[in-house]
Structure 1
Amino acid sequence: MARLTRVQQQARTRASVLAAARQEFVEHGYAPAKVDRIAERAELTRGAVYSNFPGKRALYLAVLVEMVENARVDEAAERPGSLADALGSFARTWLERLPLVDDPAPGGRLQLRSLVDVVDDEQSRTVLAQTVRLEALLLAVALETCGPDDPAPRRVRLAELALTLLGGSALLAELAPGFGDSFDRVRACEHLADLHLADTWAPPHLPFVKPAERCQDAWTPPTGLPDLITGEQVDLSVDGLVAVLGARRLDAAEEAVRSARAGEQVTVVVVTGDPAETGNLVRLRIADLASCLRRVFPPGTWRHLRLVIDDAAVAASAAGLAPVDDGTEAAVRIEGGAVVARAHGRGAAHAAAHERRGHERA
């Protein structure tokens, strides 16, 4: 038998560690789990485990990411008939993760994608809060396609309420199993459609945003970056807006979506200095949400929005936006195979989006 290459051996070791870690978390849960037991299960040394994962939290997140990404998703063929139908269908799909009352607690927490005791410091809590803002935007973009209104009203606050109700259901399922009725929660989500929230998007900082830098730089976009929403590879060669956001600035994604012209592609590129923990926390939450969304809304729902995690910052570097960190907020406009506008700091996506309009007026 031919000897395994170093890359093949690393992949095999990583797979063994993940399989052992999943078994450990299913049996014991996150907090009581031990890295030494994971190493023993995988028939590896403790050092071999740490050479692939920096710690138990990174292992847990990697197990959840693998579980979510490997799950089969049957995509919806048609759009829900009404806003209430969409909210109800999304709630039913999301609530399928709730374990049964007699399911073992540790395995049930894994099924719930529980982050109790995992998100336990200021950095991870900040990133989670920003990621949930991004989740609400993705759900809102879908909800804004439902109903007769044209243009559709902003529905981010509605999406936030639905996610709050469902997230609370998951927490109660973990801490007080058997409480409540899932059918009631579905009906409650449906009735959220009747709320009048006067939802508008009017950030007070936009009039004070510094104009983008005009440029004419070559654009050689990276390939092979998967879209977390659809699972397909992103084509960054098309004209449009590319917003590069650190994990602590994800709420600026809405600025890119709202500032862009109707019909043009918006690509949100998420960057972080800690792919194993921060990056996988974002990847887990977005991939999990997207798997639910794709079962309710047809693929064309997000045809003008792409979302990628750029662990190696290859897209940011190609756009001339490196170095990056968790606090990065920057954007470029792509036209005719070139970077024609570049902006950094608060309001970067708005500045880059409006630079084209300035050229047209001239």
Structure 2
Amino acid sequence: MRLSRAEQQERNRAAVLAAARDEFAERGYAEAKVDRIAERAELTRGAVYSNFPSKRALYLAVLLDSLTPPPAAGHASDVADALGAFAGNWLERLPLTGDTPAGGHLRARSLTGVLDDEPGRTALAQVARLEAVLLGRALESCRPVARRRVRLAELVLTLLNGAGHLAETAPGFGDPFDVIRACQHLADLDLADTWDPPHLPFVQPAQAVREEWTPAGELPDLLTGQATGFGGDGVIAVLGTGRLGAAEEAVRAAEQVTVVVVTSDHAELGRLVRLRLRDLAGCLLPVFGAPGCRVVLDDGAVAAAAGVRDADDTEAAFRVQRGEIVARAAGRGAAHAVGVSARSDR
């Protein structure tokens, strides 16, 4: 039976992914060659690049392909126990005894040496900030009640990423159970964490408007995997991969928040965002359940419908109410301005 063009392309894509997984596991990212991947897949070099425009895009696709579907949601109550459970989930990715160095890197979903340019490093730093916001907000739902726990989340993620890096470079060093206990003890550390960004008092108020809102179709929530629509009321923060840390301004100012991530580079930076947030969800959801906000990766439709550019430095927000955009802002502090406008209308 002759395959359709789409079926053949999907078969080629699967063959490239399988061949690339073997190549990266044997040789590591730096030493892997696209020509060898093509040879393993019994395809041409051009066929590889027709599916993945770069070796980095292909490596990120392999890591994404290794992730499992979002797990069942839990509901943590105590912050120390929650941190221990979260750390235990995170540490499951550490290389196993007998793994080759390249195989250990792949198992750990390592990005060491992969993001070696400024856009990649900037995006990774901003994704890490968003991860800390999401974990911090989850921790704030636990006892004892605290106003902000994002700095605690940053410290926990720093410890876990450090443990992961050591497991890659010095296999066998350290005890994962000690790391779990250390994360639990961090819950008692007083970090004097407050929410007081110095620029917020100088942010211009959101512009009041009345514009018809024709929402784009549904997109999957990167954390839960559930289809997310845009027709309901709430704040939509449109953030480029270089501005993801501003998501906290939205979730601090409004209750119903959707973070729409936009990028000019879906093949690499888009895959990076999907990889890191889906990876985080695998550790977060079994402990805390779904976070309070939704995060989607825009295919261009949401930004276009809202009249917002889809660039990596984009920072814009708008508020939807009964089928209309009733407030919008752009630039630094946009999400805060729009979120505050929602509170002032109550």
Q: Same fold (TM over 0.5)?
A: yes
The match for 1:338 is: 324
- The CA distance in 1 between the partners of 2:38 and 2:108, in whole Å, is 25
Which of 226, 236, 250 aligns to 2:244? It is 250
Q: SS of 1:30's equivalent?
A: helix
Q: Are the counterparts in 1 of residues 236 and 257 from structure 2 also a CA contact under 8 Å?
A: yes
How is 1:145-156 mapped onto 2 (pairs within 5 angstroms)? 145-149=141-145, 152-156=146-150
Which of 146, 152, 160 aligns to 1:158? It is 152
Q: SS of 1:229's equivalent?
A: coil
- The CA distance in 2 between the partners of 1:283 and 1:72, in whole Å, is 13
Percent sequence identity over aligned pairs: 63
1:84 aligns with 2:75: no
- The CA distance in 1 between the partners of 2:147 and 2:205, in whole Å, is 28
How is 1:1-362 mapped onto 2 (pairs within 5 angstroms)? 1=1, 3-68=2-67, 71-77=68-74, 79-149=75-145, 152-260=146-254, 264-299=255-290, 302=291, 304-310=292-298, 312-321=299-308, 323-360=309-346
- The CA distance in 1 between the partners of 2:87 and 2:344, in whole Å, is 43
- The CA distance in 1 between the partners of 2:144 and 2:157, in whole Å, is 24
Q: Are the counterparts in 1 of residues 70 and 223 from structure 2 also a CA contact under 8 Å?
A: no
* Offset at residue 72 of structure 1 (A): 4.4
* Offset at residue 53 of structure 1 (A): 1.1
Aligned CA distance change for structure 1 residues 148 and 179 (closer, same or farther; 3 Å): closer
Deviations 1:181-235 (A, max 9, x none): 0010000000000101110111111121122222111112122300011110113
| Counterpart residue type for residue 309 of structure 1 | L
* Offset at residue 359 of structure 1 (A): 4.5
TM-score normalised per structure 1? 0.92
Unaligned runs of 5+ in 1: none
Aligned CA distance change for structure 1 residues 74 and 287 (closer, same or farther; 3 Å): closer
* Offset at residue 250 of structure 1 (A): 0.5
* Offset at residue 102 of structure 1 (A): 2.0
* Offset at residue 287 of structure 1 (A): 0.8
Q: Are the counterparts in 2 of residues 75 and 296 from structure 1 also a CA contact under 8 Å?
A: no
RMSD: 1.4
- The CA distance in 2 between the partners of 1:119 and 1:332, in whole Å, is 32
- The CA distance in 2 between the partners of 1:142 and 1:359, in whole Å, is 27
Deviations 1:309-345 (A, max 9, x none): 11x2211111221x22100000000000111111110
- The CA distance in 2 between the partners of 1:190 and 1:294, in whole Å, is 18
TM-score normalised per structure 2? 0.97
- The CA distance in 1 between the partners of 2:8 and 2:212, in whole Å, is 39
Q: Are the counterparts in 1 of residues 249 and 336 from structure 2 also a CA contact under 8 Å?
A: yes
